[in-house]
Amino acid sequence: MGKRLFWFVVGVGLAAIIILKGKEYYERFTPKGVADQISKTQEGVTSWLGDFFDTMSQAMAERETELREATGLDG
């Protein structure tokens, strides 16, 4: 009787996990879910590119200053 109860509880737990994960996957692959994922990815990429170009332009300006000082172009 104890083994049966144990396996029944394990089965109920697995069924609950499968149902919850299945619901997540179902919502993720609906048109609205796909659009949300694309939107999140687009926001992440936009943010990353903005940070990249800000860092790059700052580094370019610093390097230009170093080179101007080293070559004496600033007078």
pLDDT in tens, the chain (75 residues): 888 999 999 999 999 999 999 999 998 899 998 999 999 999 999 999 999 999 999 999 999 999 999 998 876
* Residue 12 covered by a domain: yes
What residue numbers bound the domain in which 60 lies? 2-70
* Residue 43 covered by a domain: yes
Q: What's the structural domain count of the chain? A: 1
* Residue 32 covered by a domain: yes
What pLDDT does residue 51 have?
97
CB of 31 closer than 8 Å to CB of 22: no
* Residue 64 covered by a domain: yes
- Measured CA to CA in angstroms, residue 67 lies from 2, 55, 56, 61, 72 at distances of 79, 18, 16, 10, 8
* Residue 75 covered by a domain: no
pTM for the predicted model, two decimal places: 0.56
